[in-house]
Amino acid sequence: MAEQKKGCELFDSGHRACGGCGAALAARLVTQAAGTETIVVNSTGCMEVFSTPYPETAWKVPWIHSLFENASAVASGIEAALKKQGRKEKILIMAGDGATFDIGMICISGAFERGHDFTYICYDNEAYMNTGIQRSGATPYDASTTTSPPGSRSFGNKRPKKDMPAILAAHGAPYVATASIAYPADLRQKVEKAINTPGPCYVQVHVPCCTGWGFEGEQTIAIAKLAIETGLWVNFEMVDGKVTKVKKVVRKPVEDYLKTQKRFRHLFKPKRQDAEIATIQAIADRNAEKYGIDIQLKKE
Amino acid sequence: MMEITEGSHAVAEAVRLCRPQVVSAYPITPQTHIVEDLAAFVADGKLDAEYITVENEFSALSACIGASAAGSRTYSATTSQGLALMFEVCFNVAGMRLPIVMSIANRAMGAPLSIWNDMQDSISLRDAGWLQLYAEDNQEATDLHFIAYKVAEDPAVQLPAFVCFDGFILSHTYEPIDMISQEQVDRFLPKFSPAEKLDAKDPISFGMYATPEYYLEFRYEMDLAQKRAKEVIAKAGKEFGTMFGRDYSALIEGYMLEDAETAIIAMGSICGTTKDAVDEMRAAGKKVGLLKIRVFRPFPSEEIAKALSHVKRVAVLDKNISLGARGGATAIEVRDAMYGSTIPVKGYVLGLGGRDIRKKDIREIVALCEKGIGDQFYGLRKELI
Amino acid sequence: MTLSVGCRARPGKSRDNRTGSWRVFKPFFDHEKCSKCGTCQTLCPEGCVHENAEGFFDPDYTYCKGCGICAEECPKEAIAMNQEEK
């Protein structure tokens, strides 16, 4: 096999993502870390749509899109074929949260249970963005989407995020991690580790969506950082099912994060919803305790 | 080499000889014996393939997509509910022009749930772009797999193919089969070498999306490929005949059709029964013949119209129905092929859900057709309705 | 242009789409303030910030959508977003 070339631009300019798109940045960073000897399996969604309107493709690595829910099954077939042909390319799945948490569950569960050697990157923008912002299993509590809108009878999405990393760790995935485009070096490191760990590995990447969450494109990285600093997103690694590394923070109140995005606006206007904000704070507090993210400041 | 074997076992052996590199398997009656045999072949080193036990049929065909796009010959088998679950994937495979071959042990569609034979499953996917080959007996079921791979992988075609054979009636029946050897198959079916595949040495994006400016032309190209398949099938079928003595160049075959007054049109195992019934009717002085359709997609319209040009009437047997339309798919498409002719075409929907069809049923249908009675269900149990 | 088989393409054609035309705001890179950290290049979703021979960075205006991430994240505040002139 040709030598793996890493660090080069394998996701080209001219794609049609919104200005400031977190997912587009994720595509760039992940393929940079993966290198040239990579086959990408992309599910239907924003990334696939903004990168491949025929005849324009932004991908400089071999790439395949089949359907919304079956990237894991397609990857299973590619892995089998490469094995038989004696080829060493790495397989990288790139799928959104809708494709991963919801419609793709069956295929993912089967593929992880069978233990195929691939890396599954979920770019998590916390809703079905390509179809115009609908609620998915990854949508956070109280977030406004078009299928979980706030109103006189509702504060938005009624359920917390599904714990996909835990589900896949339970399948025996040897390496599971969460990452964020806010910390590109960390993301690249985790992608490399996942690719070099035999078996089905999973990296869930937080990618704020300016269009879907309601903020100015220039704030994408800042908001990704706030998600981590408030404890609503935790960056961690799991090796063989056990949490091994966690990003610690000096925690900020969740409000600092919520008030930056229109999808949480209804928690502040027309009236401040203290009970709802407290519930969200409790989610962050639980995350903090579960993963041990709080930096213990020395008392003077 | 002649052997007496169960249909599924013969098909499994034929697939083994085609040297697929990736087999994806999910069990469903009545094809399960095929995937079980293939698993045993792999376990015993008789088939050098990766065998993926997928978690459902949707994933079974999806795994084939990955394998085929990556440049490996691949295979799966299904029927009925499983094929229906693959509906979305079937359109995807054909549109991506991947030459996947799938065995369909034809079985009725639920509801009501039925494990017995009819052709509703594969017929219901006739719009998807797959080639559709139908076997009369287990010899054909076996041989058509070699033909299917060769035709599907031909650069002029690049379409996936169903090889259909009646569930239980063929899949679970023991018949004498002449199985050609590995050396013979290797001479007929070359290694799969697609011009384009997923390969870091030549990166290509597969399965892009098409805006209204391009979509129509992609579909047109698929239709052209279907049309070209007729010649490719003829060529491969003739080559098979020259090499192994059984010619599959014709999309349709006439039996006692040349001077027939009544033509019976049928597909699949029902043709065997019909041939026996034709023999009996001929002995009694009736000028009957059979037009067997072996290739349903691409549909042999011109060939059928030509073959029937001299007959007085046509009786089309359908083990499927397009509910709400006038009969089964074969009758509807034959009528379309005969458009402009004054020859009456009558359709008979029969044998659904495994209802047995006997020689006397064929004789009765011919009698009905002679009286101009048709376009109806045949063989209903009157006491139930 | 001949249609591909099965809706496929080789790399490069996305560059025909000059996304610079989307811009409302245009970034200006002040090399005087630049510390050559490369953050702008790392974080550009278009991959259109390039290093020059001296190690400073410049955007490719053919593709720059003017999203402003580079300006927002530059630790030296060396990038300013100005209204695009039409």
CATH number at C54 reads 3.30.70.20
- Output the pLDDT for position A5: 73
CATH number of B252-384: 3.40.50.920
Q: Would you call the peptide bond into B298 cis, given omega within 30 degrees of 0 as the criterion?
A: yes
Within-domain flag for C2: no
- Output the pLDDT for position A3: 65
Which of A1, A10, A52, A64 to mutate: most B Cβ within 10 Å? A64
Within-domain flag for C16: no
Q: List pLDDT tens digits, range A178-225.
A: 999 999 999 999 999 999 999 999 999 999 999 999 999 999 999 999
> How high is the ipTM of this complex?
0.96
Axis-axis angle for helices B7-17, B32-43 (nearest 10): 50
- Output the pLDDT for position B36: 97
- Output the pLDDT for position C86: 65
Task: Indicate if B252-384 has the same CATH topology as B2-244.
Answer: yes
Q: Which two tokens stand for residue A158?
A: 């009624």
Q: List pLDDT tens digits, range B212-240.
A: 999 999 999 999 999 999 999 999 999 99
User: What superfamily does domain A22-291 belong to in CATH?
Assistant: Thiamin diphosphate (ThDP)-binding fold, Pyr/PP domains (3.40.50.970)
Only one residue has tokens 């879907």, namely A212
Nearest CA in chain C to A16: C19
Of B72, B198, B209, the CB nearest to A62: B198
d(CA A240, CA A244): 9
Q: List pLDDT tens digits, range C56-71.
A: 999 999 999 999 999 9
Share of chain B above pLDDT 70, in %: 100
Strands (E), chain A: 38-42, 63-65, 90-96, 118-124, 150-151, 154-155, 175-180, 200-206, 236-239, 242-246
Q: Which chains touch A (3 or more CB pairs under 8 A)?
A: B, C
- Output the pLDDT for position A1: 53
Only one residue has tokens 């049609």, namely A16
Q: Do B209 and A53 touch (CB under 8 A)?
A: yes
Within-domain flag for C23: no
Nearest-CA distance from B122 to chain A in Å? 21
Q: Do A22 and C45 touch (CB under 8 A)?
A: yes
Of A60, A73, A77, the CB nearest to B22: A77
Q: List pLDDT tens digits, range B287-338.
A: 999 999 999 999 999 999 999 999 999 999 999 999 999 999 999 999 999 9
Chains B, C: CB pairs < 8 Å: 40
Closest CA to C69 of A46, A24, A258, A127: A24
pLDDT average, residue stretch B74-102 = 98
* Residue A4: pLDDT band with limits 50, 70, 90: confident
Is the pLDDT at A300 greater than 60? The verdict is: no
Is the pLDDT at A42 greater than 80? The verdict is: yes
Annotated domain spans of chain B: 2-244, 252-384
Within-domain flag for C24: no
Is the pLDDT at A80 greater than 80? The verdict is: yes
CATH architecture of residue range(s) B2-244: 3-Layer(aba) Sandwich (3.40)
Task: Provide φ and ψ at C12, rounded to 5°.
Answer: 120, -30
Is the pLDDT at B369 greater than 70? The verdict is: yes
Is the pLDDT at A297 greater than 80? The verdict is: no
Q: How many domains does chain C have?
A: 1
Nearest-CA distance from A184 to chain C in Å? 8
The SS3 call for residue A78 is helix
Nearest CA in chain B to C14: B205
Q: Do B203 and A113 touch (CB under 8 A)?
A: no
Share of chain A above pLDDT 70, in %: 98
